[in-house]
Amino acid sequence: MGSYTYPKFNYVPPTDLMTQPPQRKPLVVIGAGPVGLAAAIDARLHGLDVLLFDEDDSVSVGSRAVCYAKRTLEVLDRLGVGQPLCEKGVSWNIGRTFLQDEEVYQFNLVPDPGHKRPGMINLQQYYLEEALIERALQLGVDIRWKCKAVGVRAEADHASVSLESPEGTFDVEADWLVVADGARSPMRRHLGLDIEGHVFKDRFLIADVVMKADFPAERRMWFDPAFHPGQSVLLHKQADNVWRVDFQLGWDADPEEERKPERVLPRLKTMFGDQDFELEWVSIYTFQCRRMKDFRHKRLLFVGDAAHQVSPFGARGSNSGLQDTDGLMWKLALVMKGLAPDALLDSYDAERTYAADENILNSTRSTDFITPKSATSRMFRNAALELARHHPFARKLVNSGRLSVPSFVTHSVLNTPDTDAFQGDMLPGAPMDDAPMQRNGKDVWLIDQLGNHFQCLVFVDQVSQLDAGTLSALRALEAGAISVKPLIISRHAGAIDGVTVLHDTQGLFAKRYDAQPGSVWLARPDQHVVARWRNFSNTAVQAALRRATANA
Ligand SMILES: Cc1cc2nc3c(=O)[nH]c(=O)nc-3n(C[C@H](O)[C@H](O)[C@H](O)COP(=O)(O)OP(=O)(O)OC[C@H]3O[C@@H](n4cnc5c(N)ncnc54)[C@H](O)[C@@H]3O)c2cc1C
């Protein structure tokens, strides 16, 4: 039942790289976890050559991350792997929280219909990594397995990395180095860079259980259930009938003892009763919430767990790591192509350290609720849960893990502040909301029409309302050194030669973006709004583009 066979990837002896003096490469990535792989794929999509090293030659062991949020799925769609992962994963939107055996709170991640992707899918991390590796190879990423980075130097105009391989040691220089070597980050340690935050004094047992059960595909969290009194338990359904159970154990639990089958199986039997199951994977974890002070050090860019870590409650680890590379790679591509100054990369640091702080704050609050640190906090927590049974106001206090949402980078120096009045969430810095559309009479999603390049969206009632001057300015923007693709969103169906027209069939774009005929948005390659106006002005779009690329 559902046992996963770990693949071994083709080891290419790095003898071609073992030269003196060391070879200089434009872009090197260290670490082929989900985040390093996403960085390498994105680099190829931007036309960059990339060399990726990993010390191992397989995917990560055990299911690890299971929950991938809507925004991450949209990023994975942009990278070209979203569809198979969504087909394989278990989609869900509903989360239920129980006190003992009674439900006290329920949430729906996407209460509003009209989005391509669900609020979350659950999928074992090894499937995500496998899909990313396949895609990276398809795009021509040069992956070198069994090459362990053992040293690094950060020079003013390059990084120098020492690697150990079965063929011996060698050095490689990189104009740019993306560091994605995980929470322990040997690269961060070699450079003596600090990562600050705190460790939570609690232990959790994770068990992946293969079981044919007809529980609904929902997230379920129990506080103080009869089958595990005094502690919390979390249940998620993953692919292949694998169920993830997290049992809170407390700080005093002995990790070696608790992972033994003779300790784990009785816990599961008490929870699942007569249900047949098989244990697939067991681990005990503790966690930390911390981040590096700066994610950029000269030519080194830290991403994912190497740069920041959170507790698993809220599923913000991999999700935020994939959003790091989403925000980074278009900027790095512009800098490497000489189309933007190096200073553009400082905005990566500013935007993603801000996002990491948001994630750490949310994750810490959830963790404090789930694992109260004192008798008083526990009393407050239990009182909130009791009240939530009967009083809607108290449900807001129940925090069983505020789940990953993308950061609104509204403070970013790349944004052009509003000069016109707009309502709603799609302000400069917002990750773009999806909407159902038609293109040439076929159903499509807005989010799939965006990305990898700047985009200028113009909303019209009828395409005939677009004047020739605006159309020729839009075409000129597309032909610019930094191409800005025009996208006409029309309330009624229509076509324009050589320009993409999307028909806002259900009026959801107009609603979500507070669109009026003539309204214009400039969007970044990572699908964030960067500026918006009520009327098209070529001068304003050009100025906003310069600002969004640090060329101002
Ligand atoms: C129990 C658990 C549950 C989780 N649940 C979720 C969840 O539901 N959702 C979510 O978003 N996140 C979750 N996470 C977090 C998620 O697993 C991590 O955030 C994610 O794996 C980080 O990806 P990464 O690529 O940054 O690092 P990693 O996945 O750690 O990858 C690092 C890579 O670098 C390689 N490497 C390391 N050192 C070197 C070196 N010296 N040289 C070369 N290569 C090296 C490693 O082999 C590895 O391939 C969970 C984590 C745990 C432990």
Contact 450, 523 (CB under 8 A): yes
Render 8-33 in DSSP notation, one character per residue. ------GGGG--SSPEEEEEEEE--S
- CB of 305 closer than 6 A to ligand 1? yes
* pLDDT tens-digit profile, the chain (552 residues): 457 899 999 999 999 999 999 999 999 999 999 999 999 999 999 999 999 999 999 999 887 899 999 999 999 999 999 999 999 999 998 999 999 989 988 888 877 889 999 999 999 999 999 999 999 999 999 999 999 999 999 999 999 999 999 999 999 999 999 999 999 999 999 999 989 998 888 899 999 999 988 888 899 999 999 999 999 999 999 999 999 999 999 999 999 999 999 999 999 999 999 889 999 999 998 888 999 999 999 999 999 999 999 988 878 899 999 999 999 999 999 999 999 999 999 999 999 999 999 999 988 888 888 888 788 888 888 888 889 888 888 887 888 777 888 999 999 999 999 999 999 999 999 999 999 999 999 999 999 999 899 999 999 999 999 999 999 999 999 999 999 999 999 999 999 999 999 999 999 999 999 999 999 999 999 999 999 999 999 999 999 999 999 998
Contact 502, 359 (CB under 8 A): no
- CB of 33 closer than 6 A to ligand 1? yes
Structure tokens given for 407: 């950061």
Q: Name the burial class of residue 430, with classes exposed (0-12), middle (13-18) and buried (19+) by CB atoms within 10 angstroms of its CB.
A: buried
How far apart (Å, rounded) are the C-alpha atoms in residues 185 and 369?
Answer: 29
- Atom nearest to 69 CA in ligand 1: 11
- CB of 407 closer than 6 A to ligand 1? no
How far apart (Å, rounded) are the C-alpha atoms in residues 106 and 376?
Answer: 25
Mutate to test the pocket of ligand 1, among 6, 9, 64 (most ligand atoms within 8 A of CB): 64
296 strand-pairing partners: 301
- CB of 88 closer than 6 A to ligand 1? no
Strand ranges of the sheet holding 278-285, from the earlier edge strand across to the other edge:
102-108, 94-99, 219-223, 232-237, 242-248, 204-210, 278-285
**How many Å lie between the centroid of ligand 1 and the Cα of residue 315?**
12
Q: Atom 48, ligand 1: which residue's CA is nearest?
A: 33
- Atom nearest to 404 CA in ligand 1: 11
How far apart (Å, rounded) are the C-alpha atoms in residues 366 and 86?
Answer: 27
pLDDT, residue 2, reads: 52
**How many Å lie between the centroid of ligand 1 and the Cα of residue 75?**
18
Name the amino acid, one letter, at 203.
Answer: R
Contact 45, 132 (CB under 8 A): no
**How many Å lie between the centroid of ligand 1 and the Cα of residue 212?**
28
pTM of the model: 0.96
Q: What is the 8-class DSSP label of residue 141? A: -
**How many Å lie between the centroid of ligand 1 and the Cα of residue 64?**
8
Render the burial of 492-502: b for 16+ CB within 10 Å, e for the rest: eebebeebbbb
- CB of 207 closer than 6 A to ligand 1? no
**How many Å lie between the centroid of ligand 1 and the Cα of residue 421?**
43
- CB of 285 closer than 6 A to ligand 1? yes
